[in-house]
Structure 1
Amino acid sequence: MKKLLFNYVIPYLLFGVVYLWCMTLRSKNLNEEEENHFKNLTGPYILTLWHGRIFYLFYYLRRHPDYFLLISPSEDGDLLARLARLMGYSVIRGSTYKKAVSAARSLIKVLRRNQRIIIIADGSRGPRCVAQPGSVQLAGITGAPIFPMTFGTKNKVVLNSWDKFVIPLPFTRCTLNFSSPISLPPKSSEQIIEEKRLELENALNRINKASDEG
């Protein structure tokens, strides 16, 4: 019975709650030009965001088809993976701590098929708002550009979790923000990868701040 609830009942209930909750929200885009940039690309790209900013973006991006979402193979990840599939995403399971190699291979194959992926920049465990090198390494291998994105809102609940998870209150406005793409040359050195990782981290923190103030 517990397995039935976790696998089928809870994901559908959560899907309904999140969907109806987000339908009450309004959105404003601080950088529509960059959003149109990646939406109009015919080739592969990587979208990245902080773990604490998943809530509204999870709903917002469902309107763009064919995204592959990297989700941790943990128990919490199981629930998120089921919810993601209900939202219309394709899911690849893996993280820095588990199934890292197989997940990386799957993501590379997806990008080389000219498809798109979404990666949580600070991973499933953090540290919070510290970019892990995974998305930058993938960009270096495949040539796919990275687009940082976020949302902010003034009327919100911030959970007391490691990621300070942000839940916008119903009927409030969410401020979307996107940053310029980050690209890497082929066969980038470890130094370049670290420089681009830091560039990604700074870009995400910058647009986060602007969205929260917007």
Structure 2
Amino acid sequence: MFSKPFKRKLLVWCVPPLVYLFVKLLFFTCKKRFHFSINGSQTPSIYAIWHGELLMAAAAYTYYSKRVSIDTIVSHHFDGELVAKLMQIFGGGTIRGSSSKGGVSALRQALKALQNGRDIGITPDGPRGPRHSVANGVAAMACMKQVPIITMHCEPSASWKMKSWDRFCIPKPFSTLHFYYSDPFYVHELSLEEAKALIQKRLLEHVHE
């Protein structure tokens, strides 16, 4: 009855606002516990979170930084359209691209955003995995601009895990959300592989399979 492009436009129009309301309601009903020793939000930084934890990423960033001056890198895939729209509703910006498509353009835009004092949000294992792997982009950006990386992790006391490649996590209402933030750390003096290994280590510190 409807063409595929029309269906996709309809989904992009209606799904992100509904997800936004759901996240706001979920955040309100849950208890929150925030864990960090150093708040590095005064310096333009790269915020990294696993793809499977994206649902609460905007809420985690907003609480930590007390602002929305962030550009999130999202893929050119259709699910990237949904994420881009959702991030815009939260008040942030988006940069389109990934390691598989548009990577060079995305890197260029991200470096410019950091130069202009904005933060960058990225899922190192997105958009297609493997789960909990770290692509080159986050390390390359941090090395080229010599900016700190801050990893974020959301650990709900109760949740649903989808059967997708990233085991996408949906916290259950009235659960307790534990938000973990790493101290800001630099990787520009490390090799690319060393930098990626350190980023992966920091991202996995509080992950419970």
Pairwise same-fold verdict (TM > 0.5): yes
Q: Secondary structure at the match of 1:157?
A: strand
Which residues in structure 2 correspond to 1:191-206 (within 5 Å)? 192-206=191-205
* Distance in 2 (alpha carbons) for counterparts of 1:118 and 1:59: 13
Which structure shows the bigger proportion of residues in helix conformation? 1
Q: Secondary structure at the match of 2:26?
A: helix
Q: CA deviation at 1:13?
A: 2.2
Specify which of 100, 122, 127 is matched with residue 124 of structure 1.
127
* Distance in 2 (alpha carbons) for counterparts of 1:4 and 1:68: 22
Q: CA deviation at 1:180?
A: 2.5
Q: In the alignment, which residue of structure 2 is the partner of 1:10?
A: 15
Q: In the alignment, which residue of structure 2 is the partner of 1:104?
A: 107
Matched AA of 1:61: Y
* Distance in 2 (alpha carbons) for counterparts of 1:29 and 1:47: 16
Does structure 1 residue 159 correspond to structure 2 residue 158? no
Q: Once superposed, what is the RMSD of the aligned Cα atoms?
A: 1.7
| Gap change, CA 1:123 and 1:7, over 3 Å in 2 | closer
Structure 1 residues without counterparts, runs of 5 or longer: none
Q: CA deviation at 1:207?
A: 2.5
* Distance in 1 (alpha carbons) for counterparts of 2:17 and 2:49: 25
Alignment size in residue pairs: 201
What's the % identity of the aligned pairs?
28
TM-score, with structure 2 as normaliser: 0.89
Q: CA deviation at 1:11?
A: 2.3
The answer (yes or no) to whether the contact 2:142–2:187 under 8 Å persists in 1 is yes
Q: In the alignment, which residue of structure 1 is the partner of 2:56?
A: 56
Q: Secondary structure at the match of 1:207?
A: coil
Q: CA deviation at 1:124?
A: 0.7
Q: CA deviation at 1:3?
A: 5.0
Q: In the alignment, which residue of structure 2 is the partner of 1:83?
A: 86
Structure 2 residues without counterparts, runs of 5 or longer: 1-5
Q: Secondary structure at the match of 1:208?
A: coil
The answer (yes or no) to whether the contact 1:149–1:207 under 8 Å persists in 2 is no
* Distance in 1 (alpha carbons) for counterparts of 2:142 and 2:55: 25
Q: In the alignment, which residue of structure 1 is the partner of 2:3?
A: none
* Distance in 2 (alpha carbons) for counterparts of 1:13 and 1:180: 33
* Distance in 2 (alpha carbons) for counterparts of 1:59 and 1:166: 15
